[in-house]
Structure 1
Amino acid sequence: MSSKYYFTEVDKNAQSVYCYHNLMGETYIEPHTHEKDQFIYTEGGVVYVKTDSCTYYLPARHYMWIPAGVKHSIYPSSTEVIMRNLYFPIGTNTGSFYKREGIYPANNLVMELLLFTKKWKGDIIKSQEQQYAIVNALKVLLAQTVPQSLPLELPQPSDGRLINIIEYLTNNINKEHFLPELASSFRMTDKSLYRLFKKDLGMSFIRYYTQLRVFKSLEYLMNPDYTISEIAHMVGYNSLPTFSTTFSKIMGKRPSEYRKSNEIYLEP
């Protein structure tokens, strides 16, 4: 089947649940929308999901819910990433969970149901009673097992100056940056740069920069060749304890715990 299945096949049957697993090898999936809600689960790396307003960082062993009609593009961190997709018809009695984008950890119940679906491809229709019951149970389970989405997104800048500054921060993530020096480099005062972050992104410089560093480290943590101390330096931290504490506050677990929990579970 063509790698462009998400343009041609997903919405052909409006009533089906469409399955597509083992999507590997693509480094960029261009912006598109669906008439169905999308469940995307990943292993083996980080997947960047970009919408008009945010860039989401979907780490291994997590899933993202993308409501129908939300324009998005997808950037796997490497060709080794495994993505598993289920596309659901829009329900008539769905709760607020299904109406908003969000990233959630995949618990054991979700993982077990995914095991049933991992070799399925294409449309699952109601007449396929056993298969349809499993994917429908998975959808119902999602809203009942997670209290709220994880804060794993960063807003997209609209101001041209901030676009350039964030590109610079991203490209020089291995160095530690401070607001006054950064502002001076871009011929701004620190107060004006602080206000620009708050106005355009709705968050402070330090919050944005801290999350950017931690989210980038998620990708590095998938590579066993790097020690956690090396990764701390790769995202601009001179202190391993500071990096570990900051990572824990955002991700809910220490880098070493995160690394251990992200081995491949659903093999192709």
Structure 2
Amino acid sequence: MNNKYYLTEVDKNPKSIFCYHTTMNDLFIEHHSHDKGQFLYTEGGVVHVKTNTRMYYLPARHYMWIPAGTKHAIYPSSPKVIMRNLYFPMPSQTSDFYKKEGIYHINNLLMELLLFTKNWNGDIIKTQTNKYPIVYAFKTLLEQSVSQALHLELPHPTDSRLISITKYMSDKIDQEHLLPKLASSFSMTDKSLYRLFKKDLNMSFIKYYTQLRIFKSLEYLMNSDYSISQIANMVGYNSMPTFSNTFSKVMGKRPSEYRKANEIYTAS
């Protein structure tokens, strides 16, 4: 199935579970939504999922649940990223898990079931007794085996000044940004910039900046041969231990452990 056209097929049969596996290449999937809930798993890199209010950073070996009707765009940090999707019809009465966006670790049982479907593409319907029970069980297990959601997202600023400031921070991520200097560069006082972050993003400057650096470092860890020390410098850290400790606090693992997650599963 052509990458360009599969989105129009997802909801054609409202009762089917739709399955789609692909290498992203340079595919950018524009803003769209589905009537079905989407399970999105990636390997080989980081995928950015942009909703109306947030930018999510979905790393390899994790999955994101995207509720039915949620507008989102998807684009990979590397052409080598593999995307594995399952789209599920959602009843009007469903549990809270299926109603909210979230990024989660994938456990071994879900991983094995997902890889069992890796050569399936298209509609899976109830009469396909060799396939349907597997994907239906997968959906049930999602909720039952769910771990704590990982907060791998940053809110979109709405204030025009903060849009410019956060873009500047992202574009010059290799430089260290201190609040006083940043405020001065944009003709603001320290206090006014601090308040703007809290008011517009409901997040402190330091929390936003720390997460931006760590999320950016994920892309370098997954898609390059740079050393961890080099990557620390590339996201504005002068000290490798400080970067490693901060990364561990945000991600729950050391950078070296995350780099191992770049390997792609092929066996089922």
Moved more, 244-253 or 257-266: 257-266
* d(CA) in 2 for partners of 1:50, 1:138: 25
Q: Per-residue displacement from partner, 1:162-218 (whole Å, max 9, x unpaired)?
A: 000010000000011100100000000010000000000000000000000000011
* d(CA) in 2 for partners of 1:27, 1:125: 28
* d(CA) in 2 for partners of 1:212, 1:187: 23
Q: CA deviation at 1:267?
A: 6.7
Alignment of 1:197-208 (within 5 A): 197-208=197-208
Tell me whether 1:242 sits opposite 2:242 in the alignment.
yes
Q: Is the 8 A contact 2:244 2:254 kept in 1?
A: yes
Q: Per-residue displacement from partner, 1:54-91 (whole Å, max 9, x unpaired)?
A: 00000001010000100000111011111011110013
The residue number in structure 2 matching 1:38 is 38
SS for the counterpart of 2:73 is strand
The residue number in structure 2 matching 1:104 is 104
Q: Is the 8 A contact 1:67 1:99 kept in 2?
A: yes
Q: For residue 175 of structure 1, what is the amino acid of its counterpart?
A: Q
The residue number in structure 2 matching 1:12 is 12
Moved more, 80-89 or 20-29: 20-29
Q: Is the 8 A contact 1:48 1:75 kept in 2?
A: yes
SS for the counterpart of 2:131 is helix
The residue number in structure 2 matching 1:58 is 58
* d(CA) in 1 for partners of 2:70, 2:89: 14
Q: For residue 205 of structure 2, what is the amino acid of its counterpart?
A: F
Over 3 Å counting, the alpha-carbon distance change for 1:53 and 1:224 in structure 2 is closer
Q: For residue 143 of structure 1, what is the amino acid of its counterpart?
A: E
The residue number in structure 2 matching 1:87 is 87
Q: For residue 217 of structure 2, what is the amino acid of its counterpart?
A: S
Q: For residue 40 of structure 1, what is the amino acid of its counterpart?
A: L
For structure 1, the residue ranges without an aligned partner over 5 or more in a row are none
Q: Is the 8 A contact 2:157 2:163 kept in 1?
A: yes
Q: CA deviation at 1:260?
A: 1.6
Q: Is the 8 A contact 1:38 1:65 kept in 2?
A: yes
Q: For residue 28 of structure 1, what is the amino acid of its counterpart?
A: F
Q: CA deviation at 1:222?
A: 1.2
Q: Is the 8 A contact 1:118 1:266 kept in 2?
A: no
Moved more, 86-95 or 123-132: 86-95
TM-score by length of 2: 0.97
The residue number in structure 2 matching 1:159 is 159
Q: CA deviation at 1:130?
A: 2.5
Q: CA deviation at 1:146?
A: 2.1
* d(CA) in 1 for partners of 2:261, 2:126: 35
* d(CA) in 2 for partners of 1:147, 1:76: 24
Q: CA deviation at 1:233?
A: 0.4
Over 3 Å counting, the alpha-carbon distance change for 1:41 and 1:138 in structure 2 is same
Q: Is the 8 A contact 1:216 1:235 kept in 2?
A: yes
SS for the counterpart of 2:130 is helix
Alignment of 1:1-268 (within 5 A): 1-266=1-266
TM-score by length of 1: 0.97
* d(CA) in 1 for partners of 2:206, 2:141: 36
SS for the counterpart of 2:12 is coil
Q: CA deviation at 1:94?
A: 2.5
For structure 2, the residue ranges without an aligned partner over 5 or more in a row are none
Q: Is the 8 A contact 1:176 1:237 kept in 2?
A: yes
* d(CA) in 1 for partners of 2:235, 2:55: 18
Q: For residue 74 of structure 1, what is the amino acid of its counterpart?
A: I
Count, aligned residues: 268
* d(CA) in 1 for partners of 2:255, 2:190: 32
Task: State the identity as a percent.
Answer: 70
Q: Is the 8 A contact 1:27 1:77 kept in 2?
A: no
Q: CA deviation at 1:5?
A: 3.0
Q: CA deviation at 1:6?
A: 4.3
SS for the counterpart of 1:115 is helix
* d(CA) in 2 for partners of 1:212, 1:167: 11
